[in-house]
Amino acid sequence: MNITTNTDTVPYIVVEDYFEEEQVQKMLTELSMVQHKAEFNLPKKMEKGYKKNTSVSIEDVWRDRDCSPILTNMDSIYEDTTLITQIKDTNYIWNGWYNTNSDRTFVTFGKKGDYYKPHMDISQFTLMYYLWEEPKPFEGGDVILSTDKQQEDWSAKISIKRNMLVVFPSPTWHEVRPITKGEGRMGVIRFIYTVPDPHPLPNPKI
Protein backbone atom coordinates (compact mmCIF):
# COMPACT_ATOMS: atom_id res chain seq x y z
CA MET A 1 0.00 0.00 0.00
CA ASN A 2 1.42 3.35 -1.04
CA ILE A 3 -0.40 6.38 0.41
CA THR A 4 0.02 9.83 -1.12
CA THR A 5 -1.61 12.71 0.73
CA ASN A 6 -1.92 16.00 -1.08
CA THR A 7 -1.77 18.84 1.43
CA ASP A 8 -1.79 21.68 -1.06
CA THR A 9 -4.99 23.27 -2.33
CA VAL A 10 -7.28 20.26 -2.23
CA PRO A 11 -6.55 17.64 0.45
CA TYR A 12 -7.00 14.54 -1.64
CA ILE A 13 -5.54 11.10 -1.06
CA VAL A 14 -4.34 8.52 -3.54
CA VAL A 15 -3.56 5.01 -2.34
CA GLU A 16 -2.02 2.55 -4.77
CA ASP A 17 -2.37 -1.21 -4.31
CA TYR A 18 -5.04 -0.73 -1.68
CA PHE A 19 -6.59 -4.20 -1.43
CA GLU A 20 -5.01 -7.65 -1.51
CA GLU A 21 -5.26 -9.32 -4.92
CA GLU A 22 -7.61 -11.97 -3.47
CA GLN A 23 -10.03 -9.19 -2.49
CA VAL A 24 -9.70 -7.61 -5.93
CA GLN A 25 -10.58 -10.93 -7.58
CA LYS A 26 -13.69 -11.33 -5.40
CA MET A 27 -14.83 -7.84 -6.34
CA LEU A 28 -14.22 -8.55 -10.02
CA THR A 29 -16.39 -11.65 -9.71
CA GLU A 30 -19.14 -9.61 -8.07
CA LEU A 31 -18.88 -6.96 -10.77
CA SER A 32 -19.32 -9.61 -13.46
CA MET A 33 -22.49 -10.76 -11.65
CA VAL A 34 -24.10 -7.32 -11.48
CA GLN A 35 -22.97 -5.79 -14.77
CA HIS A 36 -26.17 -6.83 -16.58
CA LYS A 37 -28.08 -4.52 -14.21
CA ALA A 38 -25.99 -1.48 -15.14
CA GLU A 39 -27.90 1.39 -16.68
CA PHE A 40 -27.52 5.06 -17.43
CA ASN A 41 -28.73 7.38 -14.69
CA LEU A 42 -28.63 11.14 -14.97
CA PRO A 43 -28.65 12.83 -11.56
CA LYS A 44 -31.45 15.29 -10.88
CA LYS A 45 -30.66 18.84 -12.02
CA MET A 46 -27.89 17.62 -14.33
CA GLU A 47 -28.31 18.63 -17.93
CA LYS A 48 -28.52 16.03 -20.67
CA GLY A 49 -25.14 15.09 -22.10
CA TYR A 50 -23.31 15.90 -18.88
CA LYS A 51 -22.20 12.35 -18.41
CA LYS A 52 -22.14 9.04 -20.23
CA ASN A 53 -21.64 5.83 -18.30
CA THR A 54 -23.62 3.01 -16.75
CA SER A 55 -23.84 2.14 -13.09
CA VAL A 56 -25.53 -0.06 -10.48
CA SER A 57 -26.40 0.72 -6.88
CA ILE A 58 -24.87 -2.18 -4.97
CA GLU A 59 -27.24 -1.78 -2.00
CA ASP A 60 -30.12 -2.36 -4.40
CA VAL A 61 -28.64 -5.70 -5.45
CA TRP A 62 -27.98 -7.30 -2.08
CA ARG A 63 -30.36 -7.58 0.89
CA ASP A 64 -27.44 -8.63 3.11
CA ARG A 65 -24.32 -6.44 2.88
CA ASP A 66 -22.17 -9.35 3.97
CA CYS A 67 -22.92 -11.02 0.64
CA SER A 68 -21.03 -8.26 -1.14
CA PRO A 69 -17.22 -8.23 -1.20
CA ILE A 70 -17.50 -4.73 -2.67
CA LEU A 71 -19.54 -3.38 0.26
CA THR A 72 -17.58 -5.15 2.98
CA ASN A 73 -14.25 -4.14 1.48
CA MET A 74 -15.33 -0.51 1.14
CA ASP A 75 -16.66 -0.64 4.73
CA SER A 76 -13.23 -1.76 5.90
CA ILE A 77 -11.73 1.55 4.79
CA TYR A 78 -13.45 3.27 7.75
CA GLU A 79 -11.46 1.07 10.09
CA ASP A 80 -8.18 1.55 8.27
CA THR A 81 -6.38 3.27 11.12
CA THR A 82 -3.13 3.33 9.13
CA LEU A 83 -4.80 5.43 6.48
CA ILE A 84 -6.77 7.66 8.84
CA THR A 85 -3.84 8.23 11.19
CA GLN A 86 -1.70 9.32 8.26
CA ILE A 87 -4.23 11.77 6.85
CA LYS A 88 -5.97 13.18 9.88
CA ASP A 89 -3.33 15.80 10.70
CA THR A 90 -2.77 16.92 7.11
CA ASN A 91 -5.88 19.07 6.84
CA TYR A 92 -8.74 20.04 9.18
CA ILE A 93 -11.27 18.79 6.62
CA TRP A 94 -10.52 15.20 7.65
CA ASN A 95 -11.89 15.99 11.13
CA GLY A 96 -15.24 15.35 9.52
CA TRP A 97 -14.39 11.75 8.62
CA TYR A 98 -16.06 10.35 11.75
CA ASN A 99 -18.85 12.91 11.74
CA THR A 100 -20.46 10.79 9.07
CA ASN A 101 -22.98 8.03 9.55
CA SER A 102 -24.20 6.82 6.20
CA ASP A 103 -23.04 5.68 2.81
CA ARG A 104 -24.13 4.69 -0.68
CA THR A 105 -22.10 2.67 -3.10
CA PHE A 106 -22.34 2.56 -6.86
CA VAL A 107 -20.28 0.63 -9.34
CA THR A 108 -19.61 2.03 -12.78
CA PHE A 109 -18.77 0.31 -16.03
CA GLY A 110 -16.92 2.45 -18.54
CA LYS A 111 -16.39 1.86 -22.23
CA LYS A 112 -15.10 3.87 -25.18
CA GLY A 113 -16.87 7.22 -25.42
CA ASP A 114 -17.95 7.34 -21.78
CA TYR A 115 -17.14 10.41 -19.69
CA TYR A 116 -18.37 12.52 -16.78
CA LYS A 117 -17.94 16.28 -16.99
CA PRO A 118 -16.85 18.36 -13.96
CA HIS A 119 -19.30 18.09 -11.09
CA MET A 120 -19.45 17.94 -7.31
CA ASP A 121 -21.07 15.27 -5.16
CA ILE A 122 -23.63 16.03 -2.46
CA SER A 123 -21.95 13.82 0.16
CA GLN A 124 -19.21 14.86 2.60
CA PHE A 125 -16.49 12.61 1.26
CA THR A 126 -16.15 10.67 -1.97
CA LEU A 127 -14.17 7.47 -2.33
CA MET A 128 -13.36 6.20 -5.81
CA TYR A 129 -11.74 2.81 -6.23
CA TYR A 130 -10.68 1.44 -9.62
CA LEU A 131 -10.19 -2.07 -10.86
CA TRP A 132 -10.27 -4.02 -14.08
CA GLU A 133 -9.34 -7.33 -15.57
CA GLU A 134 -5.74 -7.51 -16.76
CA PRO A 135 -4.25 -6.72 -19.16
CA LYS A 136 -5.69 -3.20 -18.97
CA PRO A 137 -8.57 -3.26 -21.48
CA PHE A 138 -9.08 0.49 -22.08
CA GLU A 139 -7.35 3.83 -22.54
CA GLY A 140 -8.32 7.23 -21.12
CA GLY A 141 -10.79 7.65 -18.29
CA ASP A 142 -8.40 9.52 -16.02
CA VAL A 143 -9.72 11.72 -13.22
CA ILE A 144 -9.22 15.45 -12.82
CA LEU A 145 -9.82 17.19 -9.50
CA SER A 146 -10.18 20.95 -9.36
CA THR A 147 -11.30 23.85 -7.20
CA ASP A 148 -13.31 25.48 -9.97
CA LYS A 149 -15.47 24.08 -12.73
CA GLN A 150 -13.25 25.50 -15.47
CA GLN A 151 -10.11 23.97 -13.93
CA GLU A 152 -8.36 27.34 -14.16
CA ASP A 153 -7.60 28.00 -10.49
CA TRP A 154 -6.17 24.64 -9.41
CA SER A 155 -6.44 21.16 -10.84
CA ALA A 156 -4.72 17.81 -10.57
CA LYS A 157 -4.81 14.93 -13.01
CA ILE A 158 -4.89 11.45 -11.53
CA SER A 159 -3.84 8.69 -13.91
CA ILE A 160 -5.89 5.89 -12.48
CA LYS A 161 -4.33 2.52 -11.81
CA ARG A 162 -5.78 -0.87 -11.08
CA ASN A 163 -6.40 -1.26 -7.33
CA MET A 164 -6.12 2.49 -6.67
CA LEU A 165 -8.21 4.31 -4.07
CA VAL A 166 -8.82 8.05 -4.40
CA VAL A 167 -10.47 10.00 -1.56
CA PHE A 168 -11.46 13.66 -1.58
CA PRO A 169 -13.97 16.05 0.01
CA SER A 170 -17.15 15.79 -2.05
CA PRO A 171 -17.40 19.55 -2.79
CA THR A 172 -14.23 19.16 -4.90
CA TRP A 173 -14.95 19.48 -8.61
CA HIS A 174 -14.12 16.24 -10.36
CA GLU A 175 -14.23 15.01 -13.91
CA VAL A 176 -13.76 11.68 -15.66
CA ARG A 177 -12.02 12.26 -18.98
CA PRO A 178 -13.37 10.36 -21.98
CA ILE A 179 -12.44 6.74 -22.43
CA THR A 180 -10.70 6.74 -25.80
CA LYS A 181 -10.36 3.02 -26.44
CA GLY A 182 -11.71 -0.31 -25.22
CA GLU A 183 -13.98 -1.10 -22.29
CA GLY A 184 -13.89 -2.66 -18.85
CA ARG A 185 -12.98 0.40 -16.79
CA MET A 186 -14.72 -0.39 -13.51
CA GLY A 187 -15.04 1.86 -10.53
CA VAL A 188 -16.52 1.56 -7.07
CA ILE A 189 -17.85 4.94 -5.99
CA ARG A 190 -18.72 5.36 -2.34
CA PHE A 191 -20.37 8.47 -0.97
CA ILE A 192 -20.17 9.16 2.78
CA TYR A 193 -22.89 11.31 4.33
CA THR A 194 -24.37 12.48 7.57
CA VAL A 195 -28.10 11.76 7.54
CA PRO A 196 -30.83 10.68 9.95
CA ASP A 197 -31.69 6.98 10.18
CA PRO A 198 -28.24 5.93 9.08
CA HIS A 199 -26.55 2.73 8.28
CA PRO A 200 -24.13 2.76 11.26
CA LEU A 201 -20.44 2.91 10.49
CA PRO A 202 -17.60 1.69 12.69
CA ASN A 203 -15.99 4.48 14.68
CA PRO A 204 -12.71 3.21 16.09
CA LYS A 205 -10.59 5.27 18.47
CA ILE A 206 -7.38 6.48 16.85
Residue of this chain nearest to Fe ion (CB atom): 121
Q: How far is the CB of 186 from Fe ion (least distance, A)?
A: 16
Give 20-75 as a DSSP string.
-HHHHHHHHHHHHHHGGG-B--PPTTPPTTSEE-EEEEHHHH-SSGGG-HHHHHHH
Return the H-helix or E-strand segment holding 100: none
- Strand-pair category, 179-193 with 125-131: antiparallel
Residue number, 157 or 204, with CB nearest to Fe ion:
157
175 touches Fe ion by CB under 5 A = no
Q: How far is the CB of 101 from Fe ion (least distance, A)?
A: 20
Residue number, 24 or 189, with CB nearest to Fe ion:
189
Residue number, 67 or 122, with CB nearest to Fe ion:
122
Q: Tell which positions 71-130 bind Fe ion, by CB under 5 A.
A: 121
Give the residues across from 126 on adjacent strands: 168, 191
Of residues 21, 192, 171, the one with CA closest to residue 105: 192
Residue number, 69 or 169, with CB nearest to Fe ion:
169
128, 166 contact by CB (below 8 A): yes
Q: How far is the CB of 176 from Fe ion (least distance, A)?
A: 8
Q: Give the binding-site size for Fe ion (rule: CB under 5 A).
A: 1
| Residues near Fe ion (CB under 5 A) | 121
